[in-house]
Structure 1
Amino acid sequence: MTEITSTRSLNRVAEDARTLAALTEAPEILRVVNVWDPVSTRVISELPGTRAIATAGHSIAASHGYADGEQIPLDLMIAAIARIVAATDHPVTADLDGGYGNAGETARRAMGVGVSGANIEDQLRPLEESAALVADVVAAGEQEGVAFALNARTDAFVRGGDRPLDEIIADAIARGRAYLDAGATSIFVPGILNAEVTRALVDGIGDRKISVIGLPGALSAAEYERLGVARISYGPMPQNVALTALKRLGTSLLADGSIPDDTEQLNNF
Protein backbone atom coordinates (compact mmCIF):
# COMPACT_ATOMS: atom_id res chain seq x y z
CA MET A 1 0.00 0.00 0.00
CA THR A 2 1.27 3.47 -0.88
CA GLU A 3 2.30 5.58 2.11
CA ILE A 4 -0.26 8.27 2.85
CA THR A 5 0.98 11.86 2.65
CA SER A 6 0.35 13.84 5.83
CA THR A 7 -1.85 16.91 5.82
CA ARG A 8 0.25 18.26 8.74
CA SER A 9 3.89 19.26 8.93
CA LEU A 10 6.10 17.81 11.64
CA ASN A 11 6.17 21.28 13.20
CA ARG A 12 2.38 21.11 13.45
CA VAL A 13 2.57 17.58 14.87
CA ALA A 14 5.05 18.80 17.50
CA GLU A 15 2.75 21.70 18.38
CA ASP A 16 -0.22 19.33 18.69
CA ALA A 17 1.84 17.04 20.94
CA ARG A 18 2.53 19.95 23.29
CA THR A 19 -1.19 20.74 23.27
CA LEU A 20 -2.07 17.14 24.16
CA ALA A 21 0.43 17.15 27.02
CA ALA A 22 -0.97 20.42 28.36
CA LEU A 23 -4.54 19.11 28.15
CA THR A 24 -3.47 15.98 30.01
CA GLU A 25 -1.77 17.95 32.79
CA ALA A 26 -4.62 20.48 33.21
CA PRO A 27 -6.83 20.35 36.32
CA GLU A 28 -9.86 19.59 34.14
CA ILE A 29 -10.07 16.00 32.93
CA LEU A 30 -9.49 15.61 29.19
CA ARG A 31 -12.54 13.96 27.64
CA VAL A 32 -11.96 12.32 24.26
CA VAL A 33 -14.75 10.62 22.33
CA ASN A 34 -13.21 7.89 20.19
CA VAL A 35 -13.80 7.91 16.43
CA TRP A 36 -13.19 5.41 13.63
CA ASP A 37 -13.61 7.16 10.26
CA PRO A 38 -13.79 10.67 8.73
CA VAL A 39 -17.53 11.16 9.24
CA SER A 40 -17.48 10.16 12.92
CA THR A 41 -14.45 12.44 13.29
CA ARG A 42 -16.25 15.41 11.80
CA VAL A 43 -19.31 14.90 13.98
CA ILE A 44 -17.21 14.82 17.17
CA SER A 45 -14.86 17.60 16.02
CA GLU A 46 -17.78 20.01 15.63
CA LEU A 47 -18.94 19.57 19.24
CA PRO A 48 -18.06 22.60 21.42
CA GLY A 49 -16.46 20.50 24.17
CA THR A 50 -14.03 18.65 21.90
CA ARG A 51 -10.37 19.48 22.56
CA ALA A 52 -8.70 16.48 20.93
CA ILE A 53 -9.58 13.47 18.80
CA ALA A 54 -8.79 9.88 19.80
CA THR A 55 -9.06 6.98 17.41
CA ALA A 56 -10.47 3.61 18.48
CA GLY A 57 -8.37 0.77 17.12
CA HIS A 58 -11.06 -1.82 17.78
CA SER A 59 -13.63 0.28 15.92
CA ILE A 60 -11.35 0.99 12.94
CA ALA A 61 -10.59 -2.71 12.63
CA ALA A 62 -14.27 -3.63 12.87
CA SER A 63 -15.23 -1.06 10.22
CA HIS A 64 -12.81 -2.82 7.83
CA GLY A 65 -14.01 -6.31 8.75
CA TYR A 66 -11.17 -7.30 11.09
CA ALA A 67 -11.12 -8.48 14.68
CA ASP A 68 -9.36 -6.41 17.33
CA GLY A 69 -5.77 -7.12 18.36
CA GLU A 70 -3.57 -6.14 15.39
CA GLN A 71 -5.51 -8.33 12.96
CA ILE A 72 -5.95 -5.38 10.60
CA PRO A 73 -2.82 -4.83 8.46
CA LEU A 74 -0.73 -1.93 9.74
CA ASP A 75 -0.75 -0.20 6.33
CA LEU A 76 -4.55 -0.19 6.39
CA MET A 77 -4.66 1.08 9.98
CA ILE A 78 -2.23 3.91 9.21
CA ALA A 79 -4.24 4.85 6.11
CA ALA A 80 -7.46 4.93 8.16
CA ILE A 81 -5.80 7.12 10.80
CA ALA A 82 -4.49 9.46 8.09
CA ARG A 83 -8.04 10.02 6.84
CA ILE A 84 -9.16 10.78 10.38
CA VAL A 85 -6.37 13.35 10.78
CA ALA A 86 -7.41 14.98 7.49
CA ALA A 87 -10.99 15.34 8.75
CA THR A 88 -10.20 17.46 11.83
CA ASP A 89 -8.20 20.46 13.00
CA HIS A 90 -7.83 19.04 16.53
CA PRO A 91 -4.76 17.17 17.78
CA VAL A 92 -5.12 13.44 17.13
CA THR A 93 -4.01 10.65 19.44
CA ALA A 94 -4.16 7.18 17.90
CA ASP A 95 -4.77 3.70 19.26
CA LEU A 96 -1.78 1.70 18.01
CA ASP A 97 -2.57 -1.54 19.87
CA GLY A 98 0.66 -3.24 20.97
CA GLY A 99 2.86 -1.47 18.44
CA TYR A 100 2.60 -4.02 15.61
CA GLY A 101 5.93 -5.65 16.41
CA ASN A 102 7.97 -2.44 16.27
CA ALA A 103 6.38 0.24 18.43
CA GLY A 104 8.96 2.90 17.65
CA GLU A 105 8.61 2.51 13.89
CA THR A 106 4.81 2.33 14.14
CA ALA A 107 4.76 5.56 16.13
CA ARG A 108 7.06 7.17 13.56
CA ARG A 109 4.65 6.20 10.77
CA ALA A 110 1.74 7.58 12.79
CA MET A 111 3.56 10.88 13.24
CA GLY A 112 4.17 10.86 9.50
CA VAL A 113 0.42 11.05 8.86
CA GLY A 114 -0.12 13.78 11.46
CA VAL A 115 -0.64 11.94 14.75
CA SER A 116 0.76 13.64 17.86
CA GLY A 117 0.07 11.02 20.54
CA ALA A 118 -0.90 7.39 20.95
CA ASN A 119 -1.99 4.53 23.16
CA ILE A 120 0.33 1.53 23.03
CA GLU A 121 -0.42 -1.56 25.12
CA ASP A 122 2.07 -3.47 27.27
CA GLN A 123 -0.06 -6.64 26.90
CA LEU A 124 1.52 -7.67 30.22
CA ARG A 125 4.91 -8.28 28.64
CA PRO A 126 7.72 -8.43 31.20
CA LEU A 127 8.19 -5.04 32.84
CA GLU A 128 11.71 -4.42 31.49
CA GLU A 129 10.60 -5.25 27.95
CA SER A 130 7.53 -3.02 28.26
CA ALA A 131 9.54 -0.08 29.58
CA ALA A 132 11.96 -0.49 26.67
CA LEU A 133 9.00 -0.38 24.26
CA VAL A 134 7.90 2.93 25.81
CA ALA A 135 11.45 4.27 25.52
CA ASP A 136 11.54 3.27 21.84
CA VAL A 137 8.36 5.24 21.13
CA VAL A 138 9.65 8.30 23.00
CA ALA A 139 12.96 8.07 21.12
CA ALA A 140 11.14 7.88 17.78
CA GLY A 141 9.38 11.11 18.66
CA GLU A 142 12.64 12.77 19.65
CA GLN A 143 14.19 11.76 16.33
CA GLU A 144 11.30 13.50 14.56
CA GLY A 145 11.48 16.57 16.82
CA VAL A 146 8.19 15.66 18.50
CA ALA A 147 7.60 15.27 22.25
CA PHE A 148 5.16 12.48 21.39
CA ALA A 149 2.27 12.31 23.87
CA LEU A 150 2.39 8.60 24.72
CA ASN A 151 -0.53 7.36 26.78
CA ALA A 152 1.20 4.12 27.79
CA ARG A 153 -1.37 1.43 28.45
CA THR A 154 -0.96 -1.28 31.05
CA ASP A 155 -3.18 -4.32 30.83
CA ALA A 156 -2.70 -5.16 34.50
CA PHE A 157 -6.48 -5.15 35.06
CA VAL A 158 -7.85 -6.42 31.74
CA ARG A 159 -5.36 -9.32 31.67
CA GLY A 160 -5.13 -9.70 35.43
CA GLY A 161 -6.97 -13.00 35.50
CA ASP A 162 -7.66 -14.33 38.97
CA ARG A 163 -4.82 -12.50 40.70
CA PRO A 164 -5.78 -10.77 43.97
CA LEU A 165 -6.82 -7.15 43.48
CA ASP A 166 -3.97 -5.80 45.60
CA GLU A 167 -1.45 -7.57 43.36
CA ILE A 168 -3.10 -6.13 40.25
CA ILE A 169 -3.00 -2.62 41.68
CA ALA A 170 0.64 -3.00 42.72
CA ASP A 171 1.55 -4.27 39.26
CA ALA A 172 -0.26 -1.37 37.56
CA ILE A 173 1.53 1.13 39.80
CA ALA A 174 4.96 -0.42 39.20
CA ARG A 175 4.38 -0.44 35.46
CA GLY A 176 2.98 3.08 35.45
CA ARG A 177 5.98 4.48 37.30
CA ALA A 178 8.39 2.67 35.00
CA TYR A 179 6.64 3.95 31.87
CA LEU A 180 6.65 7.53 33.17
CA ASP A 181 10.36 7.16 33.91
CA ALA A 182 10.82 5.98 30.31
CA GLY A 183 9.15 9.14 29.02
CA ALA A 184 5.42 8.41 28.75
CA THR A 185 3.09 11.39 29.16
CA SER A 186 0.36 9.46 30.96
CA ILE A 187 -0.61 5.93 31.97
CA PHE A 188 -3.76 4.30 30.60
CA VAL A 189 -5.28 1.75 32.98
CA PRO A 190 -8.38 0.29 31.28
CA GLY A 191 -10.95 -1.51 33.38
CA ILE A 192 -14.01 -0.65 35.46
CA LEU A 193 -12.26 1.24 38.24
CA ASN A 194 -14.20 2.21 41.36
CA ALA A 195 -13.29 5.16 43.56
CA GLU A 196 -11.10 3.17 45.95
CA VAL A 197 -9.05 1.55 43.20
CA THR A 198 -8.75 4.82 41.28
CA ARG A 199 -7.55 6.64 44.39
CA ALA A 200 -4.89 3.97 44.97
CA LEU A 201 -3.67 4.25 41.38
CA VAL A 202 -3.51 8.05 41.50
CA ASP A 203 -1.66 7.93 44.82
CA GLY A 204 0.79 5.37 43.44
CA ILE A 205 1.40 6.75 39.94
CA GLY A 206 0.69 10.45 40.29
CA ASP A 207 -1.96 13.15 40.18
CA ARG A 208 -3.09 13.91 36.59
CA LYS A 209 -1.05 11.00 35.28
CA ILE A 210 -3.79 8.36 34.99
CA SER A 211 -5.99 7.79 31.95
CA VAL A 212 -9.17 5.67 32.24
CA ILE A 213 -11.90 4.31 30.02
CA GLY A 214 -15.58 5.09 30.37
CA LEU A 215 -17.60 1.87 30.37
CA PRO A 216 -21.02 0.85 31.66
CA GLY A 217 -20.59 0.53 35.43
CA ALA A 218 -17.59 2.88 35.63
CA LEU A 219 -17.54 6.26 37.36
CA SER A 220 -18.50 9.45 35.54
CA ALA A 221 -15.88 11.76 34.07
CA ALA A 222 -16.59 14.31 36.80
CA GLU A 223 -16.04 11.70 39.52
CA TYR A 224 -12.76 10.59 37.97
CA GLU A 225 -11.68 14.22 37.69
CA ARG A 226 -12.22 14.75 41.42
CA LEU A 227 -10.01 11.72 42.10
CA GLY A 228 -7.12 13.21 40.11
CA VAL A 229 -7.53 11.37 36.80
CA ALA A 230 -6.07 13.15 33.77
CA ARG A 231 -8.01 11.74 30.85
CA ILE A 232 -11.02 9.62 29.98
CA SER A 233 -11.71 7.94 26.65
CA TYR A 234 -14.42 5.54 25.58
CA GLY A 235 -12.80 2.95 23.31
CA PRO A 236 -15.25 1.08 21.08
CA MET A 237 -18.30 2.28 23.03
CA PRO A 238 -19.20 5.22 20.68
CA GLN A 239 -19.26 2.85 17.73
CA ASN A 240 -21.27 0.32 19.77
CA VAL A 241 -23.82 3.02 20.58
CA ALA A 242 -24.00 4.08 16.92
CA LEU A 243 -24.49 0.49 15.77
CA THR A 244 -27.13 -0.09 18.45
CA ALA A 245 -29.03 2.93 17.10
CA LEU A 246 -28.67 1.57 13.55
CA LYS A 247 -29.92 -1.86 14.63
CA ARG A 248 -32.96 -0.33 16.33
CA LEU A 249 -33.71 1.85 13.31
CA GLY A 250 -33.34 -1.09 10.94
CA THR A 251 -35.70 -3.17 13.06
CA SER A 252 -38.26 -0.34 12.96
CA LEU A 253 -37.93 0.21 9.20
CA LEU A 254 -38.24 -3.48 8.44
CA ALA A 255 -41.43 -3.48 10.52
CA ASP A 256 -42.89 -0.67 8.36
CA GLY A 257 -41.57 2.14 10.52
CA SER A 258 -40.35 5.52 9.31
CA ILE A 259 -37.32 7.74 9.69
CA PRO A 260 -37.72 9.93 12.82
CA ASP A 261 -38.57 13.55 12.04
CA ASP A 262 -35.73 14.86 14.22
CA THR A 263 -33.04 13.00 12.25
CA GLU A 264 -30.11 15.30 11.43
CA GLN A 265 -28.12 15.28 8.20
CA LEU A 266 -24.64 14.72 9.65
CA ASN A 267 -22.77 13.05 6.78
CA ASN A 268 -22.36 15.94 4.34
CA PHE A 269 -18.86 16.29 2.89
Structure 2
Amino acid sequence: MDFRELHRSGFFVLPNAWDPASARLLSTLPGVPAIGTTSAGVAAALGRPDGERMPMVEMIKAVAAIVEASAVPVSADLEGGYGDIRATVSAAVDVGVVGVNIEDTRYPDGVLRDAAEAADRIAEARSAAPDVVLNARTDVWWSGPGGFDDGLDRLRRFVAAGADCVFAPGLPVAQITELVAALPGVAVNVLASPALPSLETLAGMGVRRVSTGSALARLAWGAARDAVTGVLGGAGFGGLAGTLSYQELTETLDNRH
Protein backbone atom coordinates (compact mmCIF):
# COMPACT_ATOMS: atom_id res chain seq x y z
CA MET A 1 0.00 0.00 0.00
CA ASP A 2 1.55 3.33 -1.03
CA PHE A 3 1.71 6.40 1.21
CA ARG A 4 -1.35 8.13 -0.21
CA GLU A 5 -3.45 4.97 -0.05
CA LEU A 6 -2.54 4.52 3.62
CA HIS A 7 -4.36 7.78 4.32
CA ARG A 8 -7.38 6.77 2.30
CA SER A 9 -8.04 3.30 3.61
CA GLY A 10 -5.44 2.37 6.18
CA PHE A 11 -4.49 3.07 9.79
CA PHE A 12 -0.83 3.36 10.68
CA VAL A 13 1.76 4.69 13.08
CA LEU A 14 4.31 7.06 11.55
CA PRO A 15 7.53 7.03 13.61
CA ASN A 16 9.51 10.25 13.30
CA ALA A 17 13.27 10.03 12.76
CA TRP A 18 15.85 12.70 13.50
CA ASP A 19 19.01 11.47 11.74
CA PRO A 20 20.12 8.71 9.32
CA ALA A 21 20.71 6.12 12.05
CA SER A 22 17.27 6.59 13.60
CA ALA A 23 15.74 6.56 10.12
CA ARG A 24 17.33 3.21 9.32
CA LEU A 25 16.46 1.68 12.69
CA LEU A 26 12.82 2.80 12.60
CA SER A 27 12.21 2.10 8.92
CA THR A 28 13.33 -1.52 9.18
CA LEU A 29 10.96 -2.40 12.01
CA PRO A 30 8.15 -4.80 11.02
CA GLY A 31 4.86 -2.98 10.53
CA VAL A 32 6.38 0.41 9.68
CA PRO A 33 5.17 1.40 6.18
CA ALA A 34 6.66 4.90 6.23
CA ILE A 35 8.47 7.30 8.52
CA GLY A 36 8.42 11.04 9.07
CA THR A 37 11.03 13.52 10.15
CA THR A 38 10.70 15.60 13.31
CA SER A 39 11.79 19.22 12.98
CA ALA A 40 12.57 19.44 16.71
CA GLY A 41 14.62 16.25 16.60
CA VAL A 42 16.48 17.16 13.41
CA ALA A 43 17.29 20.61 14.76
CA ALA A 44 18.43 19.25 18.11
CA ALA A 45 20.62 16.61 16.43
CA LEU A 46 22.38 19.52 14.73
CA GLY A 47 22.73 21.41 17.99
CA ARG A 48 19.93 23.89 17.32
CA PRO A 49 16.55 24.64 18.91
CA ASP A 50 13.31 24.06 17.03
CA GLY A 51 11.32 26.78 15.31
CA GLU A 52 12.97 27.41 11.92
CA ARG A 53 16.15 28.64 13.60
CA MET A 54 18.38 27.09 10.98
CA PRO A 55 18.61 27.88 7.28
CA MET A 56 16.08 26.05 5.14
CA VAL A 57 18.87 24.48 3.09
CA GLU A 58 20.36 22.97 6.25
CA MET A 59 17.05 21.35 7.19
CA ILE A 60 16.58 20.02 3.65
CA LYS A 61 20.10 18.57 3.70
CA ALA A 62 19.22 16.70 6.90
CA VAL A 63 15.96 15.48 5.36
CA ALA A 64 17.86 14.24 2.30
CA ALA A 65 20.17 12.17 4.51
CA ILE A 66 17.15 10.64 6.25
CA VAL A 67 15.51 9.80 2.92
CA GLU A 68 18.71 8.17 1.72
CA ALA A 69 18.99 6.04 4.87
CA SER A 70 15.35 4.99 5.12
CA ALA A 71 14.06 1.66 3.84
CA VAL A 72 10.53 3.09 3.45
CA PRO A 73 8.99 6.34 2.13
CA VAL A 74 9.61 9.53 4.11
CA SER A 75 7.37 12.48 4.93
CA ALA A 76 9.14 15.72 5.91
CA ASP A 77 8.21 18.05 8.76
CA LEU A 78 8.75 21.48 7.21
CA GLU A 79 7.39 23.48 10.17
CA GLY A 80 5.71 26.66 8.90
CA GLY A 81 7.43 26.54 5.51
CA TYR A 82 10.57 28.61 6.20
CA GLY A 83 9.33 31.83 4.62
CA ASP A 84 9.15 30.95 0.93
CA ILE A 85 6.90 27.93 1.26
CA ARG A 86 6.93 27.09 -2.44
CA ALA A 87 10.73 26.94 -2.50
CA THR A 88 10.84 24.90 0.71
CA VAL A 89 8.30 22.32 -0.44
CA SER A 90 9.90 22.06 -3.88
CA ALA A 91 13.31 21.48 -2.28
CA ALA A 92 11.88 18.69 -0.13
CA VAL A 93 10.30 17.02 -3.14
CA ASP A 94 13.61 17.25 -4.98
CA VAL A 95 15.32 15.13 -2.28
CA GLY A 96 12.67 12.42 -2.52
CA VAL A 97 10.02 12.91 0.15
CA VAL A 98 6.52 11.55 -0.48
CA GLY A 99 4.79 13.81 2.01
CA VAL A 100 5.19 17.17 3.76
CA ASN A 101 3.87 18.54 7.02
CA ILE A 102 3.05 22.26 7.23
CA GLU A 103 1.87 24.00 10.41
CA ASP A 104 0.06 27.27 11.02
CA THR A 105 2.56 28.66 13.53
CA ARG A 106 4.61 31.61 12.26
CA TYR A 107 8.29 31.88 13.07
CA PRO A 108 10.37 33.38 14.59
CA ASP A 109 7.71 34.85 16.90
CA GLY A 110 5.87 31.55 17.36
CA VAL A 111 2.33 32.93 17.06
CA LEU A 112 -0.51 31.42 15.06
CA ARG A 113 -1.00 32.80 11.59
CA ASP A 114 -4.37 34.22 10.66
CA ALA A 115 -6.54 31.31 9.48
CA ALA A 116 -6.94 32.71 5.97
CA GLU A 117 -3.21 33.32 5.62
CA ALA A 118 -2.43 29.82 6.86
CA ALA A 119 -4.86 28.34 4.34
CA ASP A 120 -3.29 30.37 1.54
CA ARG A 121 0.09 28.89 2.43
CA ILE A 122 -1.37 25.38 2.29
CA ALA A 123 -2.65 26.21 -1.19
CA GLU A 124 0.85 27.38 -2.18
CA ALA A 125 2.34 24.13 -0.87
CA ARG A 126 -0.24 22.14 -2.82
CA SER A 127 0.56 24.02 -6.00
CA ALA A 128 4.29 23.48 -5.52
CA ALA A 129 3.91 19.74 -4.97
CA PRO A 130 0.71 18.33 -6.47
CA ASP A 131 1.74 14.69 -6.03
CA VAL A 132 2.87 14.54 -2.39
CA VAL A 133 0.66 13.84 0.61
CA LEU A 134 0.12 17.24 2.24
CA ASN A 135 -0.46 17.08 5.99
CA ALA A 136 -1.77 20.40 7.35
CA ARG A 137 -1.32 21.01 11.06
CA THR A 138 -2.98 23.48 13.36
CA ASP A 139 -1.45 24.38 16.71
CA VAL A 140 -4.69 25.77 18.10
CA TRP A 141 -4.87 23.07 20.78
CA TRP A 142 -1.30 23.78 21.81
CA SER A 143 -0.93 27.53 21.74
CA GLY A 144 -3.92 29.21 20.17
CA PRO A 145 -6.58 31.29 21.90
CA GLY A 146 -9.42 29.37 20.29
CA GLY A 147 -10.98 26.04 21.11
CA PHE A 148 -12.56 23.22 19.13
CA ASP A 149 -14.54 25.43 16.76
CA ASP A 150 -11.48 27.49 15.84
CA GLY A 151 -9.42 24.38 15.23
CA LEU A 152 -12.13 22.76 13.14
CA ASP A 153 -12.56 25.92 11.05
CA ARG A 154 -8.83 26.02 10.34
CA LEU A 155 -8.69 22.36 9.36
CA ARG A 156 -11.68 22.74 7.05
CA ARG A 157 -9.95 25.68 5.39
CA PHE A 158 -6.80 23.59 4.96
CA VAL A 159 -8.73 20.76 3.33
CA ALA A 160 -10.39 23.22 0.95
CA ALA A 161 -6.91 24.55 0.12
CA GLY A 162 -5.70 21.09 -0.88
CA ALA A 163 -4.57 19.24 2.25
CA ASP A 164 -4.82 15.43 2.08
CA CYS A 165 -4.53 14.94 5.83
CA VAL A 166 -5.02 17.17 8.88
CA PHE A 167 -2.93 17.10 12.03
CA ALA A 168 -4.29 18.13 15.41
CA PRO A 169 -1.55 17.86 18.06
CA GLY A 170 -2.82 18.52 21.56
CA LEU A 171 -6.41 17.66 20.66
CA PRO A 172 -8.05 16.19 23.80
CA VAL A 173 -8.76 12.48 23.46
CA ALA A 174 -12.41 13.15 24.29
CA GLN A 175 -12.71 15.29 21.14
CA ILE A 176 -11.07 12.94 18.63
CA THR A 177 -14.32 11.25 17.59
CA GLU A 178 -16.03 14.62 17.28
CA LEU A 179 -13.28 15.95 15.01
CA VAL A 180 -13.31 12.86 12.79
CA ALA A 181 -17.10 13.07 12.44
CA ALA A 182 -16.87 16.76 11.54
CA LEU A 183 -14.39 16.03 8.73
CA PRO A 184 -15.97 13.15 6.79
CA GLY A 185 -13.64 11.56 4.28
CA VAL A 186 -10.61 13.46 5.60
CA ALA A 187 -7.59 11.62 7.02
CA VAL A 188 -7.05 12.73 10.62
CA ASN A 189 -3.57 12.57 12.19
CA VAL A 190 -3.06 12.66 15.97
CA LEU A 191 0.12 12.99 18.00
CA ALA A 192 1.26 10.01 20.07
CA SER A 193 1.21 10.54 23.82
CA PRO A 194 0.77 8.42 26.96
CA ALA A 195 -2.81 9.77 27.13
CA LEU A 196 -3.90 8.10 23.89
CA PRO A 197 -5.93 4.89 23.96
CA SER A 198 -4.83 1.71 22.16
CA LEU A 199 -4.20 1.54 18.43
CA GLU A 200 -7.33 -0.58 18.05
CA THR A 201 -9.41 2.06 19.80
CA LEU A 202 -7.92 4.89 17.73
CA ALA A 203 -8.63 3.00 14.52
CA GLY A 204 -12.20 2.50 15.69
CA MET A 205 -12.50 6.23 16.27
CA GLY A 206 -11.65 6.79 12.61
CA VAL A 207 -8.09 8.09 13.05
CA ARG A 208 -5.88 7.31 10.05
CA ARG A 209 -2.41 8.25 11.25
CA VAL A 210 -0.55 8.52 14.55
CA SER A 211 2.74 10.46 14.50
CA THR A 212 5.34 10.19 17.26
CA GLY A 213 6.71 13.70 16.73
CA SER A 214 9.86 14.45 18.71
CA ALA A 215 8.98 11.94 21.44
CA LEU A 216 11.35 9.20 20.25
CA ALA A 217 14.30 11.58 19.96
CA ARG A 218 13.59 13.00 23.41
CA LEU A 219 13.22 9.48 24.79
CA ALA A 220 16.64 8.50 23.42
CA TRP A 221 18.36 11.62 24.70
CA GLY A 222 16.56 11.44 28.01
CA ALA A 223 17.71 7.84 28.50
CA ALA A 224 21.30 8.91 27.89
CA ARG A 225 20.97 11.79 30.34
CA ASP A 226 19.40 9.60 33.02
CA ALA A 227 22.02 6.85 32.60
CA VAL A 228 24.92 9.28 33.10
CA THR A 229 23.12 11.01 35.96
CA GLY A 230 22.72 7.61 37.60
CA VAL A 231 26.40 6.79 37.22
CA LEU A 232 27.49 10.14 38.64
CA GLY A 233 24.98 9.82 41.44
CA GLY A 234 26.43 6.50 42.61
CA ALA A 235 23.77 4.20 41.19
CA GLY A 236 26.34 2.15 39.27
CA PHE A 237 26.50 1.36 35.57
CA GLY A 238 23.34 -0.70 35.21
CA GLY A 239 21.66 2.16 33.39
CA LEU A 240 24.09 1.70 30.51
CA ALA A 241 22.65 -1.73 29.70
CA GLY A 242 20.62 -0.59 26.73
CA THR A 243 18.10 -2.57 24.73
CA LEU A 244 20.01 -2.14 21.47
CA SER A 245 23.25 -4.06 21.23
CA TYR A 246 26.33 -2.88 19.39
CA GLN A 247 25.96 -5.82 17.01
CA GLU A 248 22.32 -4.99 16.22
CA LEU A 249 23.19 -1.36 15.53
CA THR A 250 26.10 -2.27 13.31
CA GLU A 251 24.15 -4.87 11.35
CA THR A 252 21.25 -2.51 10.79
CA LEU A 253 23.48 0.24 9.44
CA ASP A 254 25.59 -2.18 7.40
CA ASN A 255 22.43 -3.19 5.54
CA ARG A 256 21.45 0.30 4.45
CA HIS A 257 21.55 -0.58 0.77
TM-score between both structures, scaled by the size of structure 2? 0.87
In the TM superposition, what are the counterparts of 1:128-139 in structure 2 within 5 Å? 128-139=116-127
Partner deviation per Cα, 1:89-110 (whole Å, 9 max, x = no partner):
3111010000001112101000
* Deviation of the 1:157 alpha carbon: 0.8
What is the alpha-carbon distance in structure 2 between the residues aligned to residue 65 and residue 86 of structure 1? Answer: 21
Equivalent residue, structure 2, for 1:11 = none
Aligned-pair Cα RMSD in Å: 1.9
Q: Bigger shift: 202-211 or 37-46?
A: 202-211
Q: Does 1:22 align with 2:10?
A: no
Spell out, residue by residue over 1:34-89, the C-alpha distance to the aligned partner (whole angstroms, 9 max, x if none).
11001001111110011001000001111111111101221111111000000013
Instruction: Return 5+ residue gaps in structure 2 as ranges.
Output: 106-111
Q: Do 2:164 and 2:186's aligned partners in 1 also have CA atoms closer than 8 Å?
A: no
- Structure 1 stretches of 5 or more lacking a match? 1-17
Q: What's 1:118 paired with?
A: 100
Secondary structure of the 1:89 match is coil
The alpha-carbon deviation at position 173 of structure 1 amounts to 1.5
Which residue of the partner structure matches residue 148 of structure 2? Answer: 169
- Which SS does the other structure have where 1:267 is aligned? helix
Take 1:204 and 1:125, find their aligned partners in 2: how far apart are those partners? 23
Which aligned pairs between 1:115-264 and structure 2 lie closer than 5 A? 115-123=97-105, 124-142=112-130, 147-161=131-145, 163=146, 168-195=147-174, 197-207=175-185, 209-254=187-232, 255=234, 256-257=236-237, 259-260=240-241, 263-264=244-245
Aligned residues of 1:208 and 1:229 also touching (Cα < 8 A): no
Q: CA deviation at 1:187?
A: 0.4
Q: How many residues align?
A: 241
Amino acid paired to 1:228 = G
Structure 1 position 183, deviation (Å): 1.2
2:106 matches 1:95:
no
- Evaluate the alpha carbon distance shift between residue 208 and residue 48 of structure 1 in structure 2; reply closer, same or farther with a 3 A threshold: farther
Residue 214 of structure 1, CA deviation: 0.8
The amino acid that maps onto 1:152 is: A
Residue identity over aligned pairs, in percent, reads 35
Q: Which residue of 2 aligns with 1:4?
A: none
Instruction: Give the structure-1-normalised TM-score.
Output: 0.83
Compared with structure 1, are the counterparts of its residues 228 and 208 closer, same or farther at alpha carbon in structure 2 (3 Å cutoff)?
farther
